[in-house]
Amino acid sequence: MNYKSDIGYRKQILTRILNTIIVHENEIVSALKADFNKPEFETVVTETSYVISDLKNTIKNISTWAKPKSVFPFVLNIPSSDTIYKEPYGKVLVISPWNYPFQLALCPVIAAVAAGNQVVLKPSELTPNTAAIIHKIISEVFPEDHVSVIQGNAEVATQLLEQRWDYIFFTGSVAVGKIVAQAAAKNLTPVTLELGGKNPCIVDETANLQLAAKRIVWGKFVNCGQTCIAPDYILVHQKSKSQFINYLKAEITNAYGENPEISPDFARIINTKNWTRLVKMIEPDKVIFGGQYNNETNYLAPTLIEENNLDSLIMQDEIFGPILPIVTYTEESEIDSIIARYEKPLGLYIFSERKKFCDTIIAKHSFGGGCINDTMIHFSNKKLPFGGVGHSGIGAYHGKLSFDIFSHHKGVVKKATWIDLPLRYAPYKGKLATVKKILNWL
Ligand code: NAD
């Protein structure tokens, strides 16, 4: 079968992977549990169901997305018919991270296959059980010369990047994103870079504080805070601070009980290296909730920090763990200057009942995407582009856009031969005035 030109075959193979994922769902859940104690609920909601829904949507729409699209011709070219053809790039490399190790590996692969490409996937070495089940599923479904999985660490990724690719899709850290961009530049290979950043979460004095606390606790501590679009730090109005902190504490306890270490719903830090990095960020005298840890299990409790020093370690880089610094502001101008200290974030959240305030923040600040009065849920709408800007990434995907980024859009004009207007041809003598009139009229 020709996966490049045969849409029927692409649909068939995507249906096969859909069914295979459903058959292996329990194994996927167990793999994520083994990798970092990810609760079944979170795996089903944020990994398997997400991928299944993405597959169903892709299978349903692939014929429409792949169809050549007619567009209105440029007036001076009439009579002509103008068409955009979607052409697969060819050989695609997908490098994925460990934090949503199933979803962030599979979704780009699905889109690349839907668009007719050949794919090599390099999943993260930090979630070896998930990498193994992904490898098994892909090998069961795809011929190796269509989609293959190469497991390994940074060294393996480096070797892969030395090869020539027609498209590279990378999800991971800003530092590695720069390495990928450099490698891609050697062959002018187009890239999508899905990176991270320090995501502000603003809570003003008009916000529904209890609901804000609930939604922020969910967004911050799901996946043990290891989410690229998790709120990184809070900017709360000084008038609301104390009440808001009380709500945050109550919501953490509601979600994970008095001792989150024994909660079945709280994951672990991925490895000792990250655990150590996170524990170093905690200054004990600033802890207002949580702060407990266990180095044997990479446990770190949901932790609230009252932070007034923007030069402290925790306010330098993306936290990527279950620690939430709370910074207080009094004047709105402080919000702008604090956000401006950092590179453009992947996500930004505003909790407020003031439309004008929200509109102003959105207009003033550049960020990948975000929510008003919630966290992270923009990720779930297939009609919204998902991606960063500046240091938080290049390009965006989800829904139809995922299909589009893995396709070269080839514009072709088919010109009629039964008529040929002489205006554009030399000699130009006597034609300029007429051409100017037409161009001014357009
Ligand atoms: P990472 O950059 O360390 O690793 C990502 C992938 O790159 C892994 O497969 C890894 O093996 C590979 N890699 C590591 N070093 C490499 C090198 N020198 N050359 C080539 N490849 C290399 O990222 P991570 O720790 O797995 O993930 C966490 C980061 O990813 C966070 O910064 C987070 O914000 C970001 N992230 C972004 C998104 C998004 O959608 N924008 C999603 C998840 C995670």
Residue 369 CB contacts under 8 Å (≥ 6 apart), including other chains? 229, 346, 347, 378, 379, 384, 385, 386, 387
Whole-angstrom Cα distance, residue 100 to residue 96? 9
Decide whether 7-195+390-409 matches 200-381 in CATH topology: no
Q: Read off the amino acid at residue 102.
A: F
- CATH for 7-195+390-409, options being 3.40.190.10, 3.40.605.10, 1.10.260.40, 3.30.465.10: 3.40.605.10
Q: What share of the chain is helix, strand, coil (3-state, %, to 5)?
A: 45, 20, 35
pLDDT given at position 75? 87
CB 130 within 8 A of CB 207: no
| 96 C-alpha to ligand 1 centroid (Å) | 6
Locate the ligand 1 atom nearest the alpha carbon of residue 270 and give its number.
25
Whole-angstrom Cα distance, residue 114 to residue 55? 9
pLDDT in tens, 429-439: 999 999 999 88
Query: What tokens appear for 442 in the block?
Result: 């357009």
For ligand 1, mutation pick of 153, 228, 389 (most atoms within 8 Å of CB): 228
Q: Given the DSSP bridges, would you call strands 293-294 and 299-300 parallel, antiparallel or unpaired?
A: antiparallel
Whole-angstrom Cα distance, residue 365 to residue 388? 13
DSSP 22-44: HHTHHHHHHHHHHHH---HHHHI
- Per-domain boundaries in the chain: 7-195+390-409, 200-381
Count of CB atoms situated within 10 Å of the CB of 245 = 19
| 150 C-alpha to ligand 1 centroid (Å) | 16
For ligand 1, mutation pick of 36, 168, 171, 402 (most atoms within 8 Å of CB): 171
The overall average pLDDT reported for the chain is: 97
CB 54 within 8 A of CB 113: no
pLDDT in tens, 197-215: 999 999 999 999 999 999 9
pLDDT given at position 4? 76
Whole-angstrom Cα distance, residue 192 to residue 168? 6
Strand partners, 293: 300
- Which of the residues in the chain have pLDDT under 50? none
Residue 351 main-chain phi, psi, to 5 deg = -110, 110
266: three-class secondary structure by DSSP: coil
Please report, rounded to a whole number, the percentage of residues in the chain having pLDDT higher than 90: 97
Whole-angstrom Cα distance, residue 319 to residue 280? 11
Residue nearest to atom 15 of ligand 1 (CA): 154
Q: Given the DSSP bridges, would you call strands 287-289 and 303-306 parallel, antiparallel or unpaired?
A: antiparallel
| 171 C-alpha to ligand 1 centroid (Å) | 6
CB 327 within 8 A of CB 310: yes
Locate the ligand 1 atom nearest the alpha carbon of residue 153 and give its number.
11
Whole-angstrom Cα distance, residue 87 to residue 116? 8
pLDDT given at position 1? 61
pLDDT given at position 80? 96
**Nearest alpha carbon to residue 39 among 349, 345, 262, 294:** 262
For ligand 1, mutation pick of 124, 156, 273, 316 (most atoms within 8 Å of CB): 124
Whole-angstrom Cα distance, residue 311 to residue 337? 14
Q: Given the DSSP bridges, would you call strands 393-394 and 191-194 parallel, antiparallel or unpaired?
A: antiparallel
pLDDT given at position 76? 87
Residue nearest to atom 32 of ligand 1 (CA): 173
Query: What tokens appear for 411 in the block?
Result: 């514009």
Residue 137 CB contacts under 8 Å (≥ 6 apart), including other chains? 17, 20, 21, 24
Locate the ligand 1 atom nearest the alpha carbon of residue 180 and give its number.
20
Residue nearest to atom 31 of ligand 1 (CA): 173
Residue 297 main-chain phi, psi, to 5 deg = -120, 10
Query: What tokens appear for 165 in the block?
Result: 């690719």
| 172 C-alpha to ligand 1 centroid (Å) | 2
- pTM of the predicted model as reported, rounded to 2 decimal places: 0.96
pLDDT in tens, 254-313: 999 999 999 999 999 999 999 999 999 999 999 999 999 999 999 999 999 999 999 999
Locate the ligand 1 atom nearest the alpha carbon of residue 152 and give its number.
11
| 344 C-alpha to ligand 1 centroid (Å) | 18
Superfamily of domain 200-381: Aldehyde Dehydrogenase; Chain A, domain 2 (3.40.309.10)
Residue nearest to atom 13 of ligand 1 (CA): 154
Query: What tokens appear for 223 in the block?
Result: 């996946």
pLDDT given at position 187? 98
Residue 136 main-chain phi, psi, to 5 deg = -60, -45
Is the four-CA dihedral 154, 157, 161, 166 of positive or negative sign? negative
Residues labelled as active-site residues: 194
- Using the structure block, give the residue that is written with the tokens 């994951």: 267
Size (the chain), residues: 442
| 136 C-alpha to ligand 1 centroid (Å) | 22
Residues with CB under 6 A from ligand 1: 95-99, 104, 122, 124-125, 153-154, 157-158, 161, 171-173, 176, 179, 194-196, 228, 318, 320, 346, 388, 393
251: three-class secondary structure by DSSP: helix
CB 199 within 8 A of CB 230: yes
| 123 C-alpha to ligand 1 centroid (Å) | 10
pLDDT in tens, 68-80: 999 999 988 999 9
